[in-house]
Amino acid sequence: MNIKHKILGVVALSLLPLSLSAQSEMEAFRLGSPHEPVGSARYAALSGAMGAVGSDVASLVRNPAGISLFRGNNRLSLTLGGGFGADRGVWYGTSTSQDMKGKFLFEEFSYQAGTNRASRGPVSFAFSIRNAGRFDRELHASAVLPQSANFSSLADFSAARTNNARYDNRQSPNVDRYFEKSYITTTAAFKNDYIPWMSILGAGAGWIDIDNGSRSYRSAYMYSTAPDGTPYPQPSIGLPDNADLVLREKGNITDYDIALGFEANDALHFGAALTLSSLDYEMASYYHEAFRGNNYLTLQNTKSVSGFGGSVGLGLLYEPVEGLRLGASLYTPTFYSMKMDFQASSLGGYNNKANEVVTPKSAANSYALRGNWRFGLSGAYFIGRHGFISADYDYTSGSLRLSNSTYDEYDGSEIGFEEDNARLKTNFGGVHTVRLGAEAMLSDRIALRAGYRYSSSPVKNARLKGDMASTEVLVSGPAVHYTLPDSQNS
C-alpha cells in the first residue's frame, strides 16, 4: 500500500497553530500588538507625528504631556470615519474578491479642560473614547488543487497529527489504548490531554483510518485507479480536486483614556494617562475539500474572544529654546484578562457514507495576555504662527506573553503556554516606527497638512519572511488563517 504523509502547501501552515484548546502565538500577536489609531483629522493628516505637537487629545497615544499645551476652557470633539474596499486573493492560481460595503465608523470622542494658571492652575484634564483596532473582514477563496506531491489534504494533516501525538506520548501508560480508533472516536477523547482535537475530528468524521500493516493512521480517501482510470499497482491515497474557504471576522478594540497634564513652567510639561481597553473578536470559518467520486471533507469553526485590560502612559515635553520642543514618552504593556470560547465540527463523506463530529458546546477557557512596552522620542519646530515640522520615533518591544490567569503569581504562570511563548520570542521582535509631519497655516481657519509613517516588520524569523511576510496566509487547520505583516509605509 502506498502511503504518503507530505505535509506541504496550505496544510503545512496548520502546524503553526498547534491545537484547538490553546491560544497560538499568531492569535496573541494579532490581538496584543498595537493598532495604528485613526485619531482626529489633524492626527491622521500628520500620520500621527504629534508627540511634540500636543494640544489635541489624539496625541495622548504619542505623548500624554501634550494635553497640557491646550489653553482653552473646554473642548468637545467627535471624529467619524468611513470605510469601504475589497478583500482579494490568489490561491493556486485562482483569483477571488469580496467587496466590503461602505459604512460610517466611530473613531474618537473626547473632552478637554485646558490649563489656565490664572483660573484653574497648571493642571489640564482629558477624557476620550476611541477606536483602537478593528478586525472586520470577509474572505472567500476557491482553488483547483494540483495533483502532485507538493500538496496534501487536511486528512493527511489529521493523520500526521495523530501519529505524531502517539509517538510523543509513547512512554505514557495506556497510550496505545487511547489511540485505538474505538476510543478516539468517543466523546471521552475530548477530555484526554494526550489526543489532539484534530485527531478526534478527523477520525470521527471518517477522514482518517488505521493502516493494517503499519498500525499508523493515514487518509481514508483511498483509490485503486488514477484520475484518468489507469489502475494503481496498489491502493493509494487520493488528493482533493478542489478546495473552498470562507472566513468571516468581526470585532474591535475600544480604549477609554483618562489623562492629566501638568505645566511646571512655560518650558516644561508633564503628563500621565490611564487607558482601559475592551476587546471583542469573533471568527467563523468554513473549509471544504472535494475528492473524486463525490467524496469530501468539511471543517467548520466558530470562535469568540473577549478581554479587558489596562495600561499607563507617561510623558514629558521640554522647550530648550523658543520654537523648538522635544518630548519623551513611556507606555507600559496592556495587561489583558481574556476569555475564549469556540466550537468546531467536522464532516466527511466517503463511499456514500457520511459522518459528523461536533466538539463540546462550551470549550471556554481563560488566560492572560501581556502586551508590549513602547518608548517614544519626538521633536517639533514651530515657525511662529505659520506652521511647524515634526518628527516622532517609537520603539515597540517584542515582549508579548501568554500566561495562565488561574495562578496567583504576580506575573502569572506559563504552564500550558511554554511553546506559544517560545515561538513569540523566536518569531517576533521589536518594531521601529518613524513619523514625519508638517503643517502650514494659510489663515486662522485653513491649514495644509502632510504626513509620512514607516514601520519596520515585527517578524524576525527568517523562515517566516520572504514572500509570505506581506501576504495573508490561508490555513486549513483549526485556526484557518493568520497574518505575517511586513514593513509598512503610509
C-alpha cell at 128: 476620550
Domain with residue 114: its CATH number is: 2.40.160
Average pLDDT of every residue of the chain: 81
Same domain, 94 and 186: no
**Are residues 202 and 311 both part of a single domain?**
no
- 273 with 167, same domain? no
Residue range of the domain that includes 170: 154-220
What's the domain count of the chain? Answer: 2
Residue 434, CA distances (Å) to 46, 157, 272, 308, 405 in order:
12, 42, 23, 29, 35
Confidence of residue 463 (pLDDT cuts 50, 70, 90): low
pLDDT tens-digit series, residues 61-109: 999 999 999 887 788 888 887 766 666 666 666 776 666 666 778 888 9
- Same structural domain, 325 and 458: yes
Q: Give the C-alpha separation, 343 to 360, whole Å.
A: 7
Which of 376, 366, 347 has its CA nearest to residue 435? 376
Task: Say if CB 20 and CB 300 are below 8 A apart.
Answer: no
Check whether 481 has a pLDDT greater than 80.
no
Residues 42 and 137 in one domain: yes
d(CA 203, CA 348): 10
Considering the domain boundaries, does residue 301 fall inside one?
A: no
Compute the distance between CA of residue 382 and CA of residue 399 in angstroms, rounded to an integer.
Answer: 36
Mean pLDDT of 327-337: 95
Helix (H) or strand (E) holding 82: strand 74-91
Averaged over 175-188, what is the pLDDT?
90
- Give the H/E segment covering residue 394: strand 387-396
At residue 407, does pLDDT exceed 80? no
Between CA 474 and CA 483, with CA 480 as vertex, the angle to 5 degrees is: 55
Q: What cell numbers appear for 422 in the block? A: 517560545
C-alpha–C-alpha distance, residues 304 and 300, integer Å: 14
| Exposure letters 180-193 (e unless 16+ CB within 10 A, then b) | eeebbbeeebbebe
Contact present, 473 and 484 (Cβ < 8 Å): yes
474: cell is 490561508
Residue 483: per-residue pLDDT: 39
Same domain, 158 and 137: no
Q: Which residues sit opposite 453 in a β-bridge?
A: 435
In a shared domain, residues 81 and 208: no
How far is the C-alpha of 155 from the C-alpha of 297, rounded, in Å? 8
The verdict on 377 and 481 lying in the same domain is yes
Residue 291 has pLDDT above 80, yes or no: yes
Overall average pLDDT of the 469-476 stretch: 33
Looking at the fold, whether 41 and 174 belong to one and the same domain comes out as no
Please state the pTM of the whole predicted model: 0.77
Neighbouring C-alpha atoms within 13 Å toward the C-beta of 43: 23
Q: Considering the domain boundaries, does residue 126 fall inside one?
A: yes
- How would you label 331-341 residue by residue, b for 16+ Cβ within 10 Å and e otherwise? bbbbbbebebe
User: How many Å apart are CA 402 and CA 367, to the nearest integer?
Assistant: 7
DSSP 55: -
Residue of 199, 200, 123 lying closest to 163 (CA atoms)? 199
User: Between 406 and 378, where is the model more confident?
Assistant: 378
Between 101 and 206, where is the model more confident? 206
pLDDT of residue 119: 64
- Are 165 and 25 within one domain? no
pLDDT band per the 50, 70, 90 thresholds, residue 341: confident
Looking at residue 239, its pLDDT comes to: 83
Cα separation, 370 vs 311, in Å, equals 10
DSSP E strand stretches across 404-468: 431-441, 447-455
Same domain? 58 vs 207: no
String of DSSP letters for 257-317? EEEEEEE-SSSEEEEEEEEEEEEEEEEEEEEEEEETTTEEEEEEEEEEEEEEEEEEEEEEE
**Which grid cell is 20?**
484547538
